Structure 1
Amino acid sequence: MDIRKSIVTRIAIIYLALLIFSLVVIYQMISVQQIENSRWEQIARNLKENTVKIEPNRGNICADDGSILATSAPGYYVRIDLAAEGVKRVFSNEADSLAYYLSAFFKNASRKEYIQKLNTAYKNNNRGFMLTPRKIDYHELQQIKKFPILRRGRYGGGMIIEQENQRITPLGSLALRTIGDLNKGAYGGVHGNIGYTGLEGAYEQYLKGKEGISYRENLSGRWVSRIEIEPQDGMDIITTLNIKLQDIAESALLQNLEKHSADWGTAILMEVKTGEIKAIANLGRENGAYTENYNYGLGNQGSYEPGSTFKLISLMAAMEDGLTDTSTVYDTGNGVWKYRNRTIYDSDYRYGGHGELTVKQIFEKSSNVGVAKIITKAYEKNPEKFVDRIYGFGLNKPL
């Protein structure tokens, strides 16, 4: 009996120990989930709020000789940490002066309006109050650094400088529509600037680079940034555009648009041996002036019947099929030809027409009657052959 009692006692002690151990484990689990939950949530919020993306330098877009067509230059925004200890020591004495300088510099609000905004932000312990209503350049930044409170710098004056690159085109409007532009709200998103049109949009994945990550910490009123992941700059794009030829193409196009009072026009210059596009100009009239505002060569606003451009394709088809050659003669008459229920006119029919012309002369004079007679004679009984030949040139396929 004593042995049995001893065994039961030992088992009871073991069960009691296991029960106590289980209660301790349960308590620790509840403590982590409930008691420590707020602390971990605060840590998560701090990580989210103080993790800053570092924008990479966007790649350049260059001409065929390496000349820069589009590049990035730094722009800046300035904030102030109104809860920093250094700011608290001088705010009451210098806030009014800071408001005066900001009002005089940006001219977008009065000194009174600025001081009201500063006082409200100060009462709310705003740690990132935006001082600049617009992006500023480097020279403007140097001036703002000398303003009251801010002149004490990053630590003593709570100044926070945020850099955001801005796109510039050193050659002004030259090939501007072909280069393209950036857009913060493109495709319905909320993000940084991304390529939206032109080369900027087409080569976005190569130009944009890869963002880096840094973490901001406030150490005794001083903001310190620590880079966790270095940004990777974007690649440069070397195009086939030639600056001199582009300038000539745009100037020639502008002269002819003004001469004929046209609404828009496009000019494309291609090196036929390589297929390289050396110049592409798009000019449209806007508010009485011609600007690079739309790609008429590709956009739907430039979708018109090819007109005289298709005469070359038609003649190529007929000659390719051996149905005519450059020396064959056709009678264009007085420049007016009625075929079935349509009447075809040459552009200068009022002057009596050109009579008999060779295929070469028909093309030189861009005779509508001549080309119509050539194609009608060649394919009237078999129009499908004409269409098949044109399709054979690949004109029905996308570039």
Structure 2
Amino acid sequence: MSPAPMGPARTDRPTSGARPATGARPAGAVGGRPTSGARPRPVGSARTSGYGEARYRAPRPRAYDAARRSEQARRPAPPRRPAAPRTLTLGDGRRRLKAALLVLAFILSLFAGRLFQLQGVEASQYAAQAVDKRMTNPRVLPAVRGEILDRHGVALATSVEAYDVVANPQNVEEPAVTAKAVARLLDLDAAEVQADIEERKAKGSKYLRLKQRVTPELRATIRALDPTEKAGIEFIKTSRRTYPADSVAANVVGYVERDGDHGKAGLELAMDSTLAGTDGKAEYEAAKGTQLPTGAATIVQPVDGQDVVTTIDRDIQWVAQSSIAAKVKEAKADWGSVVVMDAKTGEVYAMATAPTFNPNTYYKAPAAALGNYPVSANYEPGSTAKVMTVAAAIQEGKVTPMTRLTVPDHIGRAGEVFHDDEPHPTWQPTVTGVLAKSSNVGTIQVAERMSAGTLDRYLRKFGMGSKPGTGLPGEENGLFPQVKDWSGSTRYTVAFGQGLAGTLLQQASVYQTLANGGVRVAPSVVKATVGADGAQSPATNGKPTRVVSAATAKQVMQMMEAVVLEGGTGIRAAIPGYRVAGKTGTAQIAGCGGYCAGKFQASFVGVVPADKPRLVVAVTLHYPKKVSHFGGVLGAPVFKEVASFALQTLGVPPTGARSPKLNLGNVGR
């Protein structure tokens, strides 16, 4: 259908801008429309839709609009109507309450979950951490070191109450004040103590050891200080090693390190593991250094060390030390030693050395005084070794005590010339006379009746070249070359005690063997150990060794009695009422590219009573410079003094028998 007509056309259009009445177009129009802008409409005309409704008015002319805007600008603006106030509409309160409760419940569930985690799941872990933070640093509970006792239970080394002084830097209020007060009493440098406290305090450390093993009296003095001065100072109970007998048996007993618990010499070192015991440990909960009464505590109790019972007799030891010290001083010797041994058991009653030291202040003693010479000093024994050569020859059936020899004062062998101590005309002594006069030449003649291998075998059976077996630190086995390494002259020199070296204890063991019927028993200085229950565990010694027969040993013992009788070299060793068997020794000291001129080792070793042997006493002095250099002059008197006292102390009565009359042969008597 055709659209409805737009209405009647108006004929009263203004001339300006009006469309021509006929279909002609204005100049510049295209298709009957203006070339720019919308089609002009008459004023007042309305464009209608196909339904006849008005859509909009035709635009006014621009001049009109401009005039209207100018007029409106000149008019005052009408007052603005105030905006109507907004009305606040409240929400539902129950909904908000529910939301808040849900949020609160969620938060509480988080707390409850965390609380369950802390108290239910991780409670033990956090409790352990809390306890760990309150626990003090582990402290050692020192074991009490065992005592060293003489054979009668008299203490030679013991431990007494003492205290370690320590500081807890975290509890020290004024480091400078505390350091000054405590350092003065402990003989420490105050500035160093203060610096140490401050350094440990900054690091959070709770422990600083200031001084070990102070006396209870000094502890009491420190505890009496002003509270500020002693703040943070604590005491740990321990023990301090002391030696009641001072220097008596010091070289045997030894000593412990000055600021420690371990032995450094003697039995203190040799028996350290037995004496020391096992330390314990203690930890406990504390607040500001004070133990909490109901707090946790971990304590491992210490195990105290065992006591060591020695074979030493304190009284005999004291006399032996006094006697050798006096003789060393008189003779201006470098050192001297004495060994007193039980002839049957090998137990050592005394082992003395001069010079000696006080183990309570061992650090003040010269190094030369700290050694135990009877077990550690090797020297050529000289004539005290001749009894081994004679015993071997008798055992082998090569000689008897009455075998006659022709002995000049010197003899040549292996390109060497060997002399007796003093010039003499040619003798015709018996072997007993050779021993009594200590003839080097006569002993060589006895040794020549045996092979070198036989002599070597007997010397080793007597203990030469092997350690005696006491277990004491520094024990030497001597210097004795294998027979294959002997030079041409060695087979002669070893016969009278040169060309081999040993210790005084080794020489004492030789005489113990002869006194014990030819059976060598290893010497011992430890009799037993004592446990915590007081039970004694006897020490074990080596297996006895048969060296020569009982008959040979008895013959040699009788021959040695001649040494102490009139005409012998050891007459100064005679003890009234007792039969004494012994041997002197005077040996040149090796060194200086050979033997040192004018330097000698003076010795005497004897057995008493000779007919019922009970004691062996060995004496030696190294390089005496005054009085004499002969063993019979220097060593024999010491033997007599020490042996006489030991016999009385042990209650050994005289046998009442007299020494047999021995045939020495022609020795210029």
**Is the shorter-chain TM-score for this pair beyond 0.5, marking a shared fold?**
yes
The aligned residue for residue 386 of structure 1 is 455
Q: 1:117 to 1:271 in 2, by over 3 A?
A: closer
Contact (CA 8 Å) 2:179, 2:193: kept in 1 or not? yes
Q: CA deviation at 1:64?
A: 0.8
Match of 2:316 in 1: 245
- Aligned equivalents of 1:290 and 1:227: distance in 2? 45
- Post-superposition shift, 1:117? 5.8
Q: 2:275 aligns with which of 172, 189, 207?
A: 207
Give the Cα separation in 1 of the matches to 2:142 and 2:193.
30
Checking the alignment, whether the CA contact within 8 Å between 2:163 and 2:235 is kept in structure 1 is yes
Q: Cα distance 1:226–1:253, how it changes in 2: closer, same or farther (>3 A)?
A: farther
Q: 2:513 corresponds to which residue?
A: none
| Residue of 344, 366, 378 corresponding to 1:303 | 378
2:165 touches 2:212 (CA, 8 Å); kept in 1?
no
Equivalent position of 2:214 in the other structure: 136
Q: Which residue of 2 aligns with 1:344?
A: 418
Pairing 1:263–2:334 present: yes
Q: How far, CA to CA, are the matches of 2:208 and 2:170 in structure 1?
A: 10
Larger Rg: 2
> For the structure 1 residues 248 and 116, does the alpha-carbon distance in structure 2 shift closer, same or farther, using more than 3 Å as the test?
closer
Q: Contact 1:283–1:291 (CA<8 Å) still a contact in 2?
A: no
CA apart distance, 1:329: 2.7
Q: Aligned pair count?
A: 339
Deviations 1:179-199 (A, max 9, x none): 1222489xxxxxx52233321
- Offset of residue 124 of structure 1: 5.6
Could you say which residue in structure 2 is the equivalent of 1:356?
A: 428
How far did residue 123 of structure 1 move?
5.7
1:271 CA displacement: 0.8
Q: Which residue of 1 aligns with 2:241?
A: 167
Q: 1:266, 1:236 → 2: CA distance?
A: 27
Q: Any unmatched runs of 5+ in structure 2?
A: 1-116, 358-363, 470-669
Partner of 2:206: 127
Secondary structure in structure 2 of the residue aligned to 1:83? helix
The 1:365/1:42 distance shift into structure 2, 3 A limit, reads farther
Aligned CA distance change for structure 1 residues 172 and 328 (closer, same or farther; 3 Å): same
> Is residue 151 of structure 2 the alignment partner of residue 64 of structure 1?
yes
Amino acid at match of 1:267: V
User: Which of 74, 78, 88 matches 2:165?
Assistant: 78
Q: Structure 2 CA distance, aligned partners of 1:264 and 1:104?
A: 41
What is the CA distance between 1:171 and its match in structure 2?
0.5
Change in Cα spacing, 1:46 to 1:268, as seen in structure 2 (3 Å) is: farther
**Counterpart contact for 2:146–2:275, Cα < 8 Å:** yes
C-alpha displacement of 1:221:
4.4
CA distance in 2, matches of 1:354, 1:66: 56
Q: Whole-Å Cα distance in 2 between the matches of residues 360 and 346 of structure 1? A: 16
Secondary structure in 2 aligned to 1:66? coil
1:324 corresponds, among 399, 404, 411, to: 399
1:331 partner SS = coil
Is there any run of 5+ residues in structure 1 with no aligned partner, and where?
1-27, 186-191
TM-aligned CA distance change 1:252 to 1:68, over 3 Å: same
d(CA) in 1 for partners of 2:247 and 2:211? 27
Q: What TM-score, normalized to structure 2? A: 0.45
Secondary structure, in 3 states, of the residue corresponding to 1:275?
coil
Q: Distance in 2 between matches of 1:139 and 1:324?
A: 71
Which is richer in helix? Answer: 1
- Residues 1:181 and 1:218: Cα distance change in structure 2 (over 3 Å): same
Using the alignment, how far apart are the partners of 1:311 and 1:150 within structure 2? Answer: 76
Q: Whole-Å Cα distance in 2 between the matches of residues 214 and 40 of structure 1?
A: 17
Measured after TM superposition, the shift of residue 222 of structure 1 is: 1.4
Q: Distance in 2 between matches of 1:261 and 1:388?
A: 38
CA gap of 1:41–1:304, structure 2 versus 1, over 3 A, is: farther
1:50, distance to aligned residue in structure 2 (A): 1.8
Deviation per residue, 1:264-304 (Å, 9 max, x gap): 232211110221111111335899989741122332xx123
Secondary structure, aligned partner of 1:207: helix
The CA distance in 2 between the partners of 1:309 and 1:150, in whole Å, is 71
Cα distance, 1:305 vs. partner? 2.8
Q: Could you give the per-residue CA deviations for residues 338-367 of structure 1, whole angstroms, max 9, x where no partner exists?
A: 223111122223xx3673322223222322
Amino acid of the structure 1 residue aligned with 2:372 = N
Corresponding residue of 1:12 = none
Residues 148 and 157 in structure 2, CA contact (< 8 A), matched pair in contact too: yes
Q: In the aligned structure 2, how far is the partner of 1:353 from the partner of 1:42? A: 98
